[in-house]
């Protein structure tokens, strides 16, 4: 019989694959015990039953093969909630929270308050929802964060992958969200024109020959979620071009992109007649996303 402390020591083998191996081991053991990390620190001398020990060792084997913790645990925290994840979806990244934050700030700005007021006046005092489109929703991370923020925002979440959509629906159900419609499509194909107050997207933007694709967690993620042709820019180009026909006048496109794609994305937005183009950087000064307004 091993104690909690001894099992965590045994997991020292994870050093070979992970810089954060201690944290990984604690998360994996807490999951095997269906408990919390606090439990491990409080009861280090507790002896493990065979079943949780087997689960823990199997988790560690998977981690040793390089599999990301989020796939082994089947979940990842994003924004202010927990999402189920599996091999069909990208593991949501902290940097994508910058896109969520920017979208919320814009949707709460005077521009949209005035728009909702005017719509209410013209539509018999009913309060119409703002229409927001999330392209390439994956696990649903962005759409769910926005849908939770305001029940008066109506989300349409699109993905080409049926498996991703199945999981995104499950995540929406777990959070009891009813203001999201899911749709299987390639980007904007088949959607109603001039309908959306905002389009948000975190499309694939990594070039096929990028060496990062052969390193670490990313090796286990679906290529369909990561890689785009034309040096990583093909999907961004397509979304920027298409989106104009689906936005209402004066509405916004917010798009995540690679740390070194800021200038190219600005040029793509300009060429598609977007205005007020702005790139947002994270706290480390790394370019993460750009926004543009379609004024025509
Ligand atoms: C980078 S992942 C983003 C996932 C999620 N929005 C997030 O931020 O974590 C890109 C997503 O785009 C989807 N995708 C790829 N090509 C697509 C297409 N032509 N039309 C719609 N979705 C597509 C992939 O299946 C994947 O879920």
The response to whether residue 279 sits with its C-beta less than 6 Å from ligand 1 reads no
Query: Of 288, 253, 257, 248, nearest to 274 (Cα)?
Result: 253
- Structure confidence at residue 116 (pLDDT): 76
Query: Are residues 23 and 164 located together in one domain of the fold?
Result: no
Look at residue 203 and give its three-state secondary structure: coil
The model's pTM: 0.95
Q: Is any atom of ligand 1 closer than 6 Å to the C-beta of 224?
A: yes
Which pLDDT score is estimated for 129? 86
Q: What is the CATH number of the domain that holds 60?
A: 1.10.8
Give the closest residue (by CA) to ligand 1 atom 12: 136
204 assigned to some structural domain: yes
Residues 36-91 have pLDDT tens digits of 999 999 999 999 999 999 999 999 999 999 999 999 999 999 999 999 999 999 99
Question: What is the reported pLDDT for 123?
Answer: 66
User: Do 115 and 156 reside in the same domain of the chain?
Assistant: yes
Considering the domain boundaries, does residue 261 fall inside one? Answer: yes
Ligand 1 pocket test: which of 77, 84, 86, 160 has the largest number of ligand atoms within 8 Å of its C-beta?
160
Q: Do 156 and 268 sit in the same domain of this protein? A: yes
Residue 96 Cβ contacting ligand 1 at under 6 Å: yes
Residues 62 and 109 in one domain: no
Does the beta carbon of 159 sit less than 6 angstroms from any atom of ligand 1? yes
Identify the residue whose tokens are 């042709």.
229
Could you tell me if 57 and 109 lie in one domain? no
Position 81 scores a pLDDT of 98
Residues 256 and 192 in one domain: yes
Our answer on whether the CB atom of 158 is closer than 6 Å to any ligand 1 atom is yes
Instruction: Specify if 101 maps to a domain.
Output: yes
Core vs surface per residue 227-258: b (16+ CB within 10 A) or e: bbeeebbbbbbbbbebbbebbbeebbbbbbbb
Q: Which of 66, 87, 108 corresponds to the end of one domain?
A: 66
Total domains in the chain come to 2
| 12 and 152, same domain (yes or no) | no
- Containing structural domain, residue 9: 4-66
- Please write the tens of the pLDDT for every residue from 93-142: 999 999 999 999 999 998 888 887 777 777 655 656 899 999 999 999 99
**Mind listing the pLDDT tens digit for each residue in 174-194?**
999 999 999 999 999 999 999
Ligand 1 geometric centre to CA of 255 (Å): 12
Q: What is the reported pLDDT for 240? A: 98
- Asked if residue 78 is part of any domain, the answer here is no
**Between 141-149 and 162-174, two packed helices, what is the crossing angle to 10 degrees?**
30
Indicate if the alpha-carbon torsion angle 91, 290, 109, 195 is positive or negative: negative
Pocket of ligand 1 contains residue 289 by CB under 6 Å: no
| Distance, CA of 133 to CA of 246 (rounded, Å) | 9
Q: Cα separation of 76 and 167, whole Å?
A: 13
Q: Residue 274: pLDDT above 80?
A: yes
Shared-domain flag, residues 122 and 261: yes
Residue pair 223/277 in contact by the 8 Å Cβ criterion: no
Mean pLDDT of the 232-254 span: 97
pLDDT of residue 118: 77
- pLDDT, tens digit, for every residue of 144-177? 999 999 999 999 999 999 999 999 999 999 999 9
In terms of domains, do 135 and 216 share one? yes
Question: Do 157 and 265 reside in the same domain of the chain?
Answer: yes
The tens digit of pLDDT for each residue in 255-268 reads 999 999 999 999 99
Question: Is residue 89 a part of any domain in this protein?
Answer: no
């Amino acid at each position: 019989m091993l104690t909690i402390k001894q099992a965590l020591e045994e997991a020292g083998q994870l050093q070979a694959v992970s810089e954060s191996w201690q944290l990984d081991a604690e998360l994996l053991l807490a999951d095997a015990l269906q408990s919390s990390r606090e439990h491990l620190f409080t009861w280090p001398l507790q002896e493990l039953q065979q079943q949780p020990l087997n689960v823990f060792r199997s988790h560690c084997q998977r981690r040793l093969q390089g599999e990301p913790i989020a796939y082994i645990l089947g979940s990842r925290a994003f924004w202010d909630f927990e999402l189920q994840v599996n091999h069909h979806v990208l593991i949501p990244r902290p940097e994508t929270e910058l896109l969520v934050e920017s979208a919320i700030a814009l949707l709460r700005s005077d521009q949209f308050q005035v728009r909702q007021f005017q719509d209410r006046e013209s539509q018999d005092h009913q309060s119409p929802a703002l229409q927001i489109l999330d392209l390439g929703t994956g696990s649903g991370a962005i759409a769910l964060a926005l849908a939770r923020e305001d029940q008066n925002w109506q989300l349409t979440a699109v993905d080409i992958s049926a498996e991703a959509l199945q999981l995104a629906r499950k995540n929406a159900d777990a959070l009891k969200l009813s203001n999201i419609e899911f749709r299987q499509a390639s980007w904007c194909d088949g959607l109603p024109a001039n309908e959306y107050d905002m389009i948000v997207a975190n499309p694939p933007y990594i070039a096929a020959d990028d060496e990062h694709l052969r390193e670490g967690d990313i090796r286990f993620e679906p290529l369909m979620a990561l890689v785009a042709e034309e040096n990583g820019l093909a999907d961004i180009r397509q979304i920027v071009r298409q989106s104009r026909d689906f936005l209402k006048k004066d509405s916004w496109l917010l798009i995540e992109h690679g740390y070194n794609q800021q200038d190219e994305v600005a040029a793509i937005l300009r060429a598609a007649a977007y205005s007020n183009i702005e790139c947002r950087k994270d706290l480390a000064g790394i370019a993460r996303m750009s926004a543009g307004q379609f004024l025509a």
